């Protein structure tokens, strides 16, 4: 049963991250995903301090608010003339620092370990259960991730065309009367929710890997957005399951193994991709050379 | 053609000013577009041509002035306006094909929830055929030439079935076949009574392709029919010293320096 909960958690993290990662990559916002995943920390800490519990709803709300604040601050700095990479660097490190400070100042009130914040500990997920009216409802992380994934599937299912055109051609989207800013913040809100609910399982650093690597792998393999999202989820889930089995065999960090497997799958795609892969490119060049 | 549209001008711009970080790029521009004409918007680099277009469409904020489209606000008349942005404005490596991009032109008509279906696909396919791109419908967009990409953009605007079109440098860097295709399309739009405003660079083709011109260099220098407005004097005023007029074959030709 322990194994089941851990694998389920990993699969949920992978699915949520892999779907959103596609849109982040296509909008060239991979680093914003990175920023959000760190900057939600003060939100989590404040939610802890205010509610005094590890109540998931408070954490989701607090951290999502901070995620959106991050995006807003980054954009404000950018429009005031600062380079975009510098804006991202300033905002997320500053907010992350506030989070670290809050946690270390209130160490006795917050049972959040800083190591756990950075790297996560998915192995503890099955023990941290949610009890409702005396009944054990299963791990809290699974519930949070389940809610997050449902929100993602619902919003993307309903507004797929809007998210797509906002990613491809925002100017055209505005001209069509689509509220681009609303969909921008919806996407960022979903990334924030995902970052928070994945936090305890894979940590602030590895969640970025789950956001970016499966999506980047899928990007190499297809020319259609729908297929890209499907492949990305497949890569994410394979990484989650294979990563868990490998970590079991090696007795190593689960999250570390999952992201490593994702990295290996990416390298395979880079070499073997039918059109853009290194081998395909080499073969093409040789064909041209022979013709010439 | 819709009857009510014959009464009011397709586009009336009154005193529009746009500034980027306190520097005015477009200053107090007013003009009215006549219905059913092909209009060229010309002026030197940095004259604010694209910016003016974007301000009219609400893509960049204007600090003063107003825009009326068929006598009403742009917001209400949006479905009657088609826009072809500059080709460089999007990422052509995006995982999508030509047909899919053209279908995006229908998103505005679909409303919030409805997804593009059979009807949208047929419309998009027909429009791709019009611009000579039917054979490339399923081609990934990065594998199209610059001219083909431009034609996909045009098709996407056409499928919107608008009455007033804005095109931002559709002729920039395209091959001869695409140029011909665009001219044929402009002719067809004109015959259908549509109004088209085109940001244009090549002064040598203005007389051949367009009915009206707007001469812009931050301020509007002149606006009117090509015969009376596209004159050496007004062009000199627009381009300053950057323009030489060479007489060849007994006819004046314009050369940008």
Q: Does A163 touch chain B (CB under 8 A)?
A: no
Pick the range with the lowest mean pLDDT from A71-85, A124-138, B130-144: A124-138
**Rounded percentage of chain B residues whose pLDDT exceeds 70:** 91
pLDDT number for residue B108: 84
Question: Hey, which residues 127-146 in chain B have their CB within 8 Å of chain A?
Answer: 140
Q: Does the distance separating the beta carbons of B116 and A168 come in below 8 Å?
A: no
- Print the SS3 string covering chain B: CCCHHHCCCCEEEEEEEEEECCEEEEEEEEEEECCCCEEEEECCCCCCHHHHHHHHCCCCCCCEEEEEECCECHHHHHHHEEEECCHHHCCCCCCCEHHHHHHHHHHHHHCCCCCCCHHHHHHHHHHHHHCCCHHHCCCEHHHCCHHHHHHHHHHHHHCCCCCEEEEECCCCCCCHHHHHHHHHHHHHHHHCCCEEEEECCCHHHHHHHCCEEEEEECEEEEEEEHHHHCCHHHHHHHHHHHEEEEEECCEEEEEEC
pLDDT number for residue B215: 92
Give the nearest partner residue to A165 out of B81, B107, B140, using CB atoms: B107
- Report pTM: 0.87
pLDDT number for residue A55: 65
Q: Which residue is listed with tokens 């921008």?
A: A184
Confidence of residue B20 (pLDDT cuts 50, 70, 90): confident
* Average pLDDT of the residues in A200-214: 85
Q: Does A172 touch chain B (CB under 8 A)?
A: yes
Query: Do the bridges between strand B164-168 and strand B81-84 make them parallel or antiparallel, or are there none, so unpaired?
Result: parallel
ipTM, two decimals:
0.84
Q: Does the distance separating the beta carbons of A171 and B108 come in below 8 Å?
A: no
DSSP A261-273: HHHHHHHHHHHH-
Give the nearest partner residue to A225 out of B89, B96, B107, using CB atoms: B96
Give the nearest partner residue to A168 out of B81, B96, B110, using CB atoms: B96
Q: Helix (H, G, I), strand (E, B), or coil: what is residue A82?
A: coil
If one compares A275 and A87, the residue with the highest pLDDT of the two is A87
* Average pLDDT of the residues in A55-65: 79
Kindly report the nearest CA distance between residue A166 and chain B, in angstroms. Answer: 11
All residues of chain B having their beta carbon less than 8 Å from the beta carbon of residue A81 are 21
Which chain B residue shows the shortest CA-CA distance from A220?
A: B95
Taking only the tens place, the pLDDT of each residue in A4-35 is 999 999 999 999 999 999 999 999 888 888 89
Pick the range with the lowest mean pLDDT from A194-208, A210-224, B80-94, B199-213: A194-208
pLDDT number for residue A266: 96
pLDDT number for residue A57: 75
Taking only the tens place, the pLDDT of each residue in A143-174 is 889 999 999 999 999 999 999 999 999 988 88
pLDDT number for residue B2: 46
| pLDDT higher than 80, residue A2 | no
Q: Does the distance separating the beta carbons of B83 and A172 come in below 8 Å?
A: yes
- Closest residue by Cα to residue B32 from B207, B190, B187, B164: B164
Q: Which residue is listed with tokens 């990484």?
A: A239
Q: How many domains does chain A have?
A: 1
Q: Which residue is listed with tokens 């010439």?
A: A292
Query: Residue A227: which domain range?
Result: 2-291
Q: How far from B234 is each of B14, B29, B238, CA to CA, in Å?
A: 21, 16, 6
Which chain A residue shows the shortest CA-CA distance from B115?
A: A161
All residues of chain B having their beta carbon less than 8 Å from the beta carbon of residue A178 are 107-108
| pLDDT higher than 80, residue B1 | no
Average pLDDT, chain A: 87
Confidence of residue A281 (pLDDT cuts 50, 70, 90): confident
Confidence of residue A53 (pLDDT cuts 50, 70, 90): low
All residues of chain A having their beta carbon less than 8 Å from the beta carbon of residue B83 are 171-172, 175
* Average pLDDT of the residues in A105-125: 73
Q: What CATH number does residue A287 fall under?
A: 1.10.3470.10
DSSP H helices in chain A: 2-26, 30-51, 56-79, 84-105, 114-119, 140-158, 160-168, 170-175, 180-221, 225-250, 254-272, 278-291
Q: Helix (H, G, I), strand (E, B), or coil: what is residue A109?
A: coil
All residues of chain B having their beta carbon less than 8 Å from the beta carbon of residue A158 are 113
Q: Does B90 touch chain A (CB under 8 A)?
A: yes
Cβ neighbourhood burial of A56 (10 Å; 0-12, 13-18, 19+): middle
pLDDT number for residue A292: 66
Cβ neighbourhood burial of A228 (10 Å; 0-12, 13-18, 19+): buried
Q: Does the distance separating the beta carbons of B108 and A177 come in below 8 Å?
A: yes
- Closest residue by Cα to residue B129 from B179, B185, B79, B201: B185
| pLDDT higher than 90, residue B79 | no
Q: Does B78 touch chain A (CB under 8 A)?
A: yes
Residues 6+ apart with CB under 8 A from A266: A213, A216, A217, A220
In chain A, the largest separation of any two C-alpha atoms, in whole Å, equals 77
Kindly report the nearest CA distance between residue B103 and chain A, in angstroms. Answer: 10
* Average pLDDT of the residues in B106-135: 89
Looking at domain B4-256, its CATH architecture is: 3-Layer(aba) Sandwich (3.40)
In chain B, domain spans: 4-256
Which chain A residue shows the shortest CA-CA distance from B84?
A: A172
Q: Does the distance separating the beta carbons of A158 and B107 come in below 8 Å?
A: no
All residues of chain B having their beta carbon less than 8 Å from the beta carbon of residue A219 are 95
């Amino acid at each position: 049963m322990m194994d089941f909960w851990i694998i389920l958690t990993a699969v949920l993290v992978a699915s949520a991250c892999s779907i959103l990662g596609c849109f982040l990559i296509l909008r060239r916002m991979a680093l914003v995903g990175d920023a959000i995943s760190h900057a939600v920390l003060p939100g989590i800490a404040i939610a802890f301090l205010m509610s005094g519990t590890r109540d998931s709803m408070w954490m989701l709300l607090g951290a999502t608010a901070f995620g959106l604040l991050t995006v807003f601050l980054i954009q404000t700095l950018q429009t005031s003339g600062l380079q975009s990479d510098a804006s991202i660097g300033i905002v997320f490190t500053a907010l992350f620092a506030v989070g670290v400070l809050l946690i270390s100042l209130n160490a006795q009130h917050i049972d959040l370990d800083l190591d756990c914040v950075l790297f996560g500990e998915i192995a503890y997920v099955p023990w941290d259960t949610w009890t409702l009216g005396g009944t054990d409802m299963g791990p809290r992380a699974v519930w949070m991730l389940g809610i997050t994934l449902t929100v993602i599937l619902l919003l993307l299912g309903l507004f797929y065309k809007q998210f797509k055109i906002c990613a491809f051609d925002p100017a055209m989207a505005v001209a069509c009367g689509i509220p681009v800013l609303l969909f921008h913040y919806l996407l960022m809100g979903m990334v924030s929710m995902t970052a928070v609910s994945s936090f305890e399982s894979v940590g602030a650093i590895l969640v970025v890997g789950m956001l970016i690597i499966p999506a980047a792998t899928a990007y190499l393999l297809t020319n259609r957005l729908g297929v890209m999202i499907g492949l990305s989820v497949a890569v994410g889930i394979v990484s989650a399951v294979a990563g868990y089995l490998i970590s079991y065999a090696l007795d190593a960090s689960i999250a570390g193994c999952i992201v490593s497997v994702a990295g290996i799958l990416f390298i395979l795609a880079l070499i073997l991709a039918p059109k853009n892969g290194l081998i395909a490119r080499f073969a093409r060049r040789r064909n041209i050379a022979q013709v010439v | 053609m819709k009857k009510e549209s014959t009464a009011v001008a397709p586009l009336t711009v009154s005193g529009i000013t746009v500034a980027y970080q306190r520097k005015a790029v477009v200053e107090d521009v007013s003009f009215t577009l006549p219905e059913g004409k092909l209009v060229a918007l010309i002026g030197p680099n940095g004259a604010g041509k694209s910016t003016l277009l974007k301000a009219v469409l609400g893509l960049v904020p204007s600090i003063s002035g107003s825009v009326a489209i068929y006598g009403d606000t742009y917001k209400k008349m949006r479905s009657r306006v088609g826009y072809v942005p500059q080709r460089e404005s999007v990422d052509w490596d995006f995982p999508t094909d030509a047909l899919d991009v053209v279908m995006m032109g229908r998103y505005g008509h679909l409303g919030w929830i409805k997804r593009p279906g059979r009807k949208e696909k047929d419309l998009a396919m027909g429009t791709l055929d019009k611009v000579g791109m039917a054979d490339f419908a399923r081609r990934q967009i990065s594998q199209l030439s610059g001219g083909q990409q431009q034609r996909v953009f045009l098709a996407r605007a056409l499928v919107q079935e608008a009455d007033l079109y804005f095109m931002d440098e559709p002729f920039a860097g395209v091959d001869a076949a695409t140029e011909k295709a665009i001219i044929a399309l402009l002719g067809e739009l004109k015959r259908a009574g549509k109004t088209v405003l085109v940001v244009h660079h090549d002064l040598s083709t203005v007389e051949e392709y367009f009915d009206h011109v707007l001469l812009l260099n931050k301020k509007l220098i002149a606006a009117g029919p090509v015969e009376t407005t596209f004159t050496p004097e007004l062009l000199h005023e627009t381009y300053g010293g950057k323009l030489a007029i060479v007489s060849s074959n007994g006819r004046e030709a314009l050369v940008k320096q």
